[in-house]
Structure formats: C-alpha cells, structure tokens
A and B are shown apart, each in its own frame.
Chain A
Amino acid sequence: MSPDGTAGKPVPQVQLTIDGVAVSVPQGTTIFDAARVNGIPIPTLCHQQNENPIGVCRVCVVEAGPKFAASCIRQAEQGMVVKTNTESVVGVRKTLVELLMSDHPSPCARQQHSGDCELERMAEQAGVKQPRFPQKVTPRGKDESSIAIAVDHEACILCERCIRGCDDIRHNMVLARRGKGYQAGIAFDNNLPMGSSSCVSCGECMVSCPTGALTNRAVVGTKLTGQAVPPEALLGLPIFKNVSGTFLELNSHAVVERRFRAGDIICREGDFGATAFYIVEGKVDVYLSSPIAHVKTQDSGQGFLSKLKSLLAPRAHDRRTEEVDRPFIPIDASVDLPYDNPIAELGPGELFGEMTCMSYYPRSATVRAKTDCTMLEMLRNVLDIMQRNKNFREQLDRTYRKRALDSHLRSVPVLASLTPEFINHLREHVELVRFAPGQVICRQGEPGDSFYLVRLGFVKVSEHRPGGDMVLAYLARGGYFGEIALLGGIARTATCTALDHVEVVRIPGEDFQLMLDKFPAIRQKLEAAAAERIEANRQRAMQVANVPVEQFLNQGLMEAQSLLILDLERCTRCDQCVRACADAHDGVSRLIREGLRFDKYLVATSCRQCRDPLCMVGCPVGSIRRRNSLEVIIEDWCIGCSQCANNCPYGNINMHPFPVEQDDPTYPGRRIASVKVKATSCDLCLDHEEPSCVYACPHDAAHRVNPPEFFAGLLKQRSSGMKG
C-alpha cells in the first residue's frame, strides 16, 4: 500500500495532443514525460529522469495552448494542445541556448575531453555559432582540490542536477546553491573546497552534470597492467558500497585486479609509483632490504697520509649524538616495522602504498607475497573514492586500532613506556582524522583540546610573527604535536597545517591528562621535550630579528647554521675543493662549486643544515630528522629512495652507493652481491680538524662559516646603508 492509501485505485487518465498526436497519460504526468513516453523528444538541460524536475533552464519550452511553458514541470491537462517544434518555440529555445552559451566557456572541459557537453551539442544542433549576446564568462573560478572530480564553476549553468543527485539520490547533502546573480554557483558544505568538504566522492554529481562543470579527473600517464574489474564486480565489494556505477565505469582503467604467486615481489622500497594496493585475498610480507645502518666517514688511520673512508655503520656500533632508540620504523602501511627485525605481515582487507598513491612518495618498503594473493591495484582517484567511503573508513579505522595503534604509540620515544592496559583504554578513545593538503589542523591562539600523532603524510608547524609566518618544523609519521598547549594549559603556540594528504591520531585532552596523571615519567619526558622545542623556537626568533637584509633572507642564508662559502675574489676556479671532497668520500663529492651568491661570496652547494629543512618532507620512512642543534641526521633505516636529495632546494644531499650482500629473490637461501645507496650530506669531515674542501683550497678562498656571525659586519654595513 502506498503511503497515501491510493493503492489499488485506478489513476485517472488525461487526453492531450502533442504535435498533433493524441496522447493519453495518467493524471499528474508532466508534458515532458507525456511526450517522452510517446516517442516525441523535447530537448532539456536541467532535467533528467531520475531526478525531480525544477524547471530552471527552460530549454524544454513548449507551446501549451496560448502560452509557453517549461514542459518538465508543467503537468499535462485534459484537452491540452502542445506544440514542441513550432518556429516560435524553436526561436525561444535558441535564444535561451544563446543566453546560456554567452556565459559558458566554450569548449568546456567535457567538450574538450569527450565532445559530449550537452549545452554545446544543443547549441550546435540549434545552429548557434556566434551568440548575439556579448560573450561574458563570469570569473567564478575552478576547484581542483578533489582528486577524483574537477570543478569548473565557470562552466556551471546552474541546472542543479548535481545538487539533486547529491541530496535526493545519494542523500549525502553536501551540495547546495551559493551566491546571487552572476556570482551564483554550487557550493560544497559551507562553501568549502570540494577536497576539504564532507564529499564522499561517490561521483553522482559528476555523472549528473550536463556540462564541463564537474568532470572526472582521470590520472593521466599511468597505465595499469592487470585485469580490469567490471563496475558491477567492484560494487559487490563492501568498500565500494554507495559509489556511482557510472563513476566506476569512467574510472575502470584506474583499478585493476592483480594476482601474485607466493614469493612474487609486489613493490620494492625506493621505487617511485602512483598506486596503492588493497589486499582482497592472501598474505604479504612487508620488509626493508636496505641495510639498517648509516653512512659513517672514518679516518683510515694512516698518519699524515690519512684518507677518509666511507662505510655503513649500524646504530649498535656507531652511536651518534642524540641518537634516539626508536623501536619501530614507520612505513606506508597500517603497521610499523620493528627496528631489530624490520618485517611485518599484512592480510585481507588491508591497504598499503597510500602515501605513494596520494602524494607520489617513493615506496617505503618492499612487499612480497607470502601466499598466493589477489589484490586491487588502484590510482589515486579510486583510492580517494575508497577513503571517503564510510564502510571502508570504518574498516581501516578498526584495523588500525586493532593492529597498529600499539606500535605507533610505542614508536614515539616519549610514549614508549605506556602500559598495554592504557593503550587498550586509548583504543576506544582515539580518533583517526584526515586532512587535505593545505588544511589547517590546529591554529595558533586557539585553545588546546587534543594531542595529535601523525599517522600519514607531513604536517608543517609554523608560527605567526610580525613580518610573516615562520616554519618551525615538519613532522612525519611518528611525529606529535599539541602537547605544549595541553601541558601548560595555554593557547596553541603554533599553527599546524597538512602539507599533503595527512592522517592524524587525535587523543582528546581528557585522555591526554589521564595519561599524564597515570604516567609521571611520560609527563616528565613530554615536559622536557616541550621545553626544548620552546627554547629552539625562541633562539630562532632572536636570530631572525637580528638580520635586517632582505637578500640575505631571500637566499635562505639565514636558514643555514653552517655554510661553505667561496670568496670569489680569491677563488681561481681550480676545483681543488671538489676534488678533495670526492677524495674524502670514496669518489662521491658532497660539494658542487655552484650556488647562490651573496656579495663576493659563492655559497657552494654543500649542506647548510637549514633551519627550514625541506629535505625532510616526503621521506617515506621518516628517516631524516634533525638534532636539537638543528643539524640534519639521516637514520639507519634510510632506504636510498633519493626523495630528500631531490627535495633539497640547494642540491646538498648526495646518494652514496655501497656494495652489499642480500638474499636472492629467485633462489631463496642464496646471497647475491648488490649495490644499495644511502643518503648522506656534508658531515664537515668530523674526523678531521678541518673540512677537506677548506683544507685543500690553495687560495684561501674556501671557508666554513656560521652565516650570521661571518656576515655580521657586511649586514650591518648594508643595513646602515639602507637606512641612510
């Protein structure tokens, strides 16, 4: 029975004439539907069959008796005479199309990609080549924040098909109208960028859009090998529940099924990639094959003929200052790897390679099939759909709490002493929160209500100061923030922003306090760490305040603690410094005699130990960090992917090859010779009194200096010159 109790009652029919054809339809039928069921086409833009008509575009205009009417909303009436194709109707329709075209960038994205923009096709059929009205594309902008869907507000004709698709069909209630007049458009949530909104990327809006306002963002240039999965099969998986089938069809190339046999290597650490893997069946081993050791430069001990030698030294044999005993190595998967035996197992329902897929970071670990397995390999637009899917989120969340929270908390040295009981307590209270690139996680000055642990991606910590923001740190997986405000009961002292696709574990303030009360040792460690951070920030602020010369700052020299500078009035470009550096490091020079210039000095490309170390952004295993002295330290578990070397704006990180022996993947049990690279930067030839480059310069042109001290006179002179 229907809700209005009309079940069983015959619906009265109305008779009308459409284009001279007698038609009978149930009462309440619109003219548009009456024509459609009788095979008479009426063009329309804002209406489609699965949505409620709203009659905003008026393109479906017909003559209904003496008047023009929008056929999609006008109900058929008894005896009505409808004309859909008279000269006046065609004229009116053409004018409407011309008006729409005058505010539509042509060709729009859809027309360019597939030639099926409904408006432009309609204009072409109507013979609208040059609109009579002045072409004015209102600048409403584009929104490319979503990975799966591109939004071009300028191509939007305000037909609201997307809004009805989102609200009425999918019940997601994300889309609505915004603005007035020429500034009117569609808005996601409270007019947020689509990528930051609560949009679940179901794709309904995109498949509803008649123009290029909402289009599929295919990942170009990547062709996946594997068996294509039909949309119906994908929809059968719980992780794709509620996703638009058309959307999956459009992205059919972006997700494939891969089958691996036990022992097959699925991906290798350090390789660049663009996909993530979802395990459907089977088990895999995740491990690091790079030696867990750092590059050490050592004196060969041959007296005055001594030569430096580079070798790989594990933490146990060569403990560096401020070396931290991290028990786990963070990787791009739901688990961390134990430091002593870096291997873990993943099973059905688990995902790995998220950071590689979303932010194009190198693979953080090698993955080998432990049993025969079936996986879905996907590009970022499909992963985005999955990650926004509530079912999948819940599944990921459950897996994380069950398997990874424990090791994640323990991997943070200050929290290593948490008891299993308290971790069980936290299991129920922590929250996994995702942030889009550029999104602010917490803002300076706001009250502190939570403590955060970084699970995925990179967080930029910056402080607002007169004259602009200053970057205090970049935090990778295992990093934490928010403790200063909670410990001191004060407002946030810095703003934390997601640099890329970030996921954090949020521990509510009450649980954080409970932890401090229960574990005084942890409170002590956190307080000490917070005091160190505050002191480092204070010192940095003082240094910046004392440097007035813009150029000095622009060139990043202020960022450096130690610079190799070449006095170009003395340097004869003989390259002895470069030769010496190469000789000191097994032929791998860590110095290039090229770089920025400040006054008569060339700032050679040798590590500056920057205070804003961009090299740390993107390390897939978080193996590059800095000491409290701000000097860069590369941890033992560097996988040699070169990301830091590529990121360093000054080209100051080098990749040093080392011959190693490793397991032969083809013949288990056999060892084969191989070469592994490790990142390294200038260590100032610490084993010697003076860096080799400076020692070997015959012209007294090369110097290692502390920039603010060395340039103090010059800066003073310049700033007084500027004042004068």
Chain B
Amino acid sequence: MRIDETHRKWFIGSLIALAVALVVYIPYSRSSPQGPTGGSVMGLVYGSVGSAFMLFAGLLGLRKKFPIWRIGRAQAWMRGHLWLGFLAFPIILFHAGFHFGGGLTTTLMWLFIVVFVSGIFGAVLQHYMPRLTLERVPMETIYEQIERVRGQLMDEAAKLVEEVVDALAGNLEKATAEERACSASAGTMGGLTVASGLQVDEEAAVELRGFFTREIQPFLEHAGSRGPALGDRNRSQGMFRQLRVLLPANVHSTVDDLENVCEEKRQLDQQSRYHKILHGWLLVHIPISYALLLLGAVHAVFALRY
C-alpha cells in the first residue's frame, strides 16, 4: 500500500490520538508516586486500548481469508491495520511506563518491537517496491507463472538457434515447403541458405551453437541470475556485441531476438527477487504477531487474575 495523501485522515487522526495519549500520560506519570505501572487504572486503560488496536491489526489476516464478506472494504481494514498498529506501540509503552518488566512482559516487549519494526519495514517496502517493480520489470508476469515462462523462453531460444544453424549449414530437412521450392530453383548446394537470404557458413553455425550451449542454455535453464555472465546486463550486452561480429549480418536479427530472450529472463529473475523481498518480511511479521497476541492474552489473564 502506498502511503500518500489519501492517508491524510488516518494520519491526522493518529496524530491527534497520540497527542491525547501523550497529554494524558504526562500528568498521569508525574502524579504516580512510584511511576506509571500497567496495573494502575490509567495503565489498564492504556493496556486495553493498545491491546484492542493490536487485536484489530491482527484481525486483518482473518479478514483476508474472507475477502467478500461485506464487513468493510479491505482497504479500510488495511489502513486501520497500519495506523492503529502503529499507534498501539506508543500506547503499550505508556501502559508499561516505558519499562520492560518481568520475563513475560520483557518477551512481550521484544516481540512487539520486532512486530513494530518489521511492520514499518513492510510498509516502507510496500510503498516503494511496487513502483520499483513497475519501472525495472516491464516484462513482469504472474509470479506463479515465472517458471513456466522461463521454460517457454528456453524453448524459444533453442528453436531460434536451431533454425539459423540449420540454414547456415544448408540443411534442407527442416526447411518449409516454400523454402525448399525456392532453394531448388535457386540451385544446388546451400539452396536453403540462398532461399532464406543467408550464405552457407558452417563456421558461423558452429560459433552460434557453441554460444548457445555454453552461455545461453545454462543461463535460461536455471532460475536466478547470479553466476552466469548473461545475468549481468552490461556483460551480456558486450557478449552479444562480440557474437554479432562473428556472425554474418543476416543472422543479427536472430541474435537480437536471443538477446531479448536473455533480457526477459533477467527481468523474471529480478521480479522473483523483488517478490521475495516484498513478501518475505511477512514470514517474520505474521508469526511473531500471532505469538504476540497469544502471549499478550496470557499476560492479560495473569495480570488481571493475579
């Protein structure tokens, strides 16, 4: 979610709520002889409000499980999650009087810090990463389809190389009927290459096939761009430039196509990285949030009962 001017109401509301909490907290903390504690009336009020905010923030996960329930737009729930979750932290600090307390409460505070920081980190990522993905991955596809698209790219590259290598080697077997007809009328040896506008050049065929087997195939076969030279855009451009020098001009359009295939694979790898970053923080945020809520409930029961 992008945090922009559309969040103004939430921002102002949160700011006011925070200011009120702070205004109440200052005299409360000064008037408490032993300092503010969670067990005092005000402490309990802060604790209840903070817990309610945390609970609401935690319910977002449940809300997402039932996307079509008409219980408020998911967007409102998300904004509530962001801002109330954000507010919960200072309020819980007010509740605890800025002390970590005993074993359980210290654990709770550390968990809360992790949840709070990871949440802010996530919000920052969600603010910037979609735009970054939009700008840097114009060939983006559905994340779950990346493997399939990579397979298609591999097939496409293999087919491109095969066709040109066959033509360069004067192999008539895979030529189309039209090419065969033209090649027959064009003469004998290398009829196909004449028909396709190429000259027989077996050395070029060997060079292209070698480049494909050595560089392109391993790059396309495996996910991830780290390692293979083609994974680096600058090095890739240099390698393809060099390949063009070694091959006849008529093959250059195929080399362009191959370079585009490699570019798309690089973008898919990049999309995959971005996706993992964009959603990876949830692996920390969600389980710890649930742990926090669970331990928070335990803390509440124990604190109120004993």
Contact = CB atoms under 8 A, between A and B. Distances in A.
Interface of A: 105-108, 112, 130, 135, 137, 304-308, 568-574, 576, 579-580, 583-584, 592-594, 597, 600, 688, 690, 692, 695-700
A583 B67 contact: yes
A304 B70 contact: yes
A140 B287 CA distance: 74
The 6 closest A-B pairs by CB, nearest first: A696-B67, A580-B67, A698-B78, A698-B74, A699-B1, A568-B134
Contacts of B78: 698-700
Interface in B128-176: 129-131, 133-134, 138, 141-143
Nearest to A303: B70
21 contacts: A112-B180, A135-B186, A137-B185, A304-B71, A305-B70, A568-B131, A568-B134, A570-B1, A572-B126, A573-B143, A583-B67, A594-B141, A597-B138, A600-B134, A692-B67, A695-B70, A697-B74, A698-B74, A698-B77, A698-B78, A700-B75
B31 interface: no
B74 A569 contact: no
Interface string B60-91: 10001011111101110110000000000000
B64 A692 contact: no
A296 B180 CA distance: 56
Nearest to B177: A112
A620 B279 CA distance: 46
Contact of A580 (B68, B126, B134): B68
Contacts of B134: 568-569, 600
Given A306-B70, A695-B68, 10 more contacts: A106-B181, A107-B184, A305-B66, A307-B69, A568-B134, A572-B278, A692-B67, A696-B74, A698-B1, A699-B78
A574 B69 CA distance: 18
Contact of B278 (A106, A130, A573): A573
Contact of A105 (B64, B70, B75, B185): B185
Contacts of A600: 134
Contact of A112 (B75, B181, B186): B181
Contact of B69 (A135, A304, A571, A700): A304
Contacts of B186: 135
B6 interface: yes
A306 B181 CA distance: 67
A584 B68 CA distance: 7
A307 B143 CA distance: 28
B133 A568 contact: yes
Given A112-B181, A568-B130, A570-B1, A696 B278 contact: no
B275 interface: yes
A572 B130 contact: yes
B273 interface: no
A570 B131 CA distance: 7
A215 to B, nearest CB: 13
Contacts of A307: 68-69
B245 to A, nearest CB: 34
A677 B70 CA distance: 29
A386 to B, nearest CB: 30
A409 B126 CA distance: 61
Interface of B: 1-2, 6, 60, 64, 66-71, 73-75, 77-78, 126, 129-131, 133-134, 138, 141-143, 177, 180-182, 184-187, 275, 278-279
Q: Chain A contact residues: over half helix, strand or loop, or mixed?
A: loop
Contacts of A107: 180-181, 184
Query: Which of B133, B185, B279 counts the most chain A CB atoms within 10 A?
Result: B185
A305 B65 CA distance: 12
Contacts of B180: 107, 112
B277 to A, nearest CB: 11
Contacts of B67: 576, 579-580, 583, 692, 695-696
B69 A305 contact: yes
B281 to A, nearest CB: 11
Contacts of A690: 73
B126 A593 contact: no
Contacts of B275: 573
Nearest to A308: B68
B181 A105 contact: yes
Nearest to B143: A573
B225 to A, nearest CB: 20
A472 B155 CA distance: 41
B74 A695 contact: yes
A608 B57 CA distance: 36
B295 to A, nearest CB: 26
Given A105-B185, A699-B75, A700-B75, A570 B130 contact: yes
Contacts of A304: 69-71
A692 to B, nearest CB: 5
A571 B142 CA distance: 13
A568 B129 CA distance: 10
Contacts of A112: 177, 180-181
Contacts of B74: 576, 695-698
B255 to A, nearest CB: 27
A700 B1 contact: yes
Given A304-B71, A695-B73, A699-B126, A576 B64 contact: yes
A688 B70 contact: yes
Nearest to B145: A594
A112 B185 CA distance: 13
A692 B181 contact: no
B131 A569 contact: yes
Contacts of A594: 141-142
A583 B66 CA distance: 8
A667 B94 CA distance: 78
B5 to A, nearest CB: 12
B74 to A, nearest CB: 4
Nearest to A212: B181
A653 B286 CA distance: 36
Contacts of B60: 698
Contacts of B68: 306-308, 580, 583-584, 692, 695-696
Contacts of A108: 181
A13 B130 CA distance: 99
B218 to A, nearest CB: 29
A38 to B, nearest CB: 38
Contacts of B177: 112
B1 A593 contact: no
Contacts of A697: 74-75
Query: Which of B70, B184, B186 counts the most chain A CB atoms within 10 A?
Result: B70
B180 to A, nearest CB: 8
Nearest to A136: B185
A700 B181 contact: no
A304 B75 CA distance: 17
A700 B130 contact: no
Nearest to B2: A570
Contacts of A568: 130-131, 133-134
A106 B185 contact: yes
Query: Which of A307, A568, A584, A700 counts the most chain B CB atoms within 10 A?
Result: A700
A107 B143 CA distance: 50
Nearest to B71: A304
A535 B114 CA distance: 63
A699 B130 CA distance: 11
Nearest to A695: B73
A586 to B, nearest CB: 12
